[in-house]
């Protein structure tokens, strides 16, 4: 039995909802963490050609997070803007 199920609701639908929420929470956490790692690696990248290659992939990740409401769309836009500026500033 799942740890959250013991102390919560008795309705079958509520129990299912709790299970679904937990699965989604973990999935969202994984997506979010993966994107943060990608952001970090792009920010630390010194080689412009590698950074230019990575940028579209990271932007795509951010767009997907925003679409799924894991992060706010404005936050995604701000990050994309800052990253693009960073990549363009590299020599």
Residue 10: pLDDT above 90? Answer: no
66, 76 in Cβ contact below 8 A? yes
Instruction: Report the domain count for the chain.
Output: 1
Position 3 in a domain: no
Q: Of the candidates 43, 28, 38, 37, which has an alpha carbon nearest to the alpha carbon of residue 84?
A: 43
The whole-angstrom separation of Cα 63 and Cα 87 is 18
pLDDT of residue 9: 78
pLDDT band of 7, cuts 50, 70, 90: low
Residue 18 is part of a domain; what is its CATH number? 1.20.58.110
% of the chain with per-residue pLDDT over 90: 88
Task: Please tell me the pTM assigned to this model.
Answer: 0.79
- Domain range holding 65? 12-89
In this predicted model, which residue has the larger pLDDT, 69 or 7? 69
């Amino acid at each position: 039995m799942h740890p959250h199920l013991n102390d919560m609701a008795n309705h079958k639908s509520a129990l299912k909802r709790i299970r679904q929420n937990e699965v989604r929470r973990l999935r969202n956490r994984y997506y979010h963490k993966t994107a943060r790692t990608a952001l970090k690696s792009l920010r630390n990248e010194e080689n412009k050609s590698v950074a230019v290659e990575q940028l579209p992939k990271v932007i795509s990740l951010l767009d997907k997070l925003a679409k799924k409401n894991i992060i706010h769309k404005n936050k995604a836009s701000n990050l994309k803007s800052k990253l693009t500026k960073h990549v363009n500033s590299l020599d």
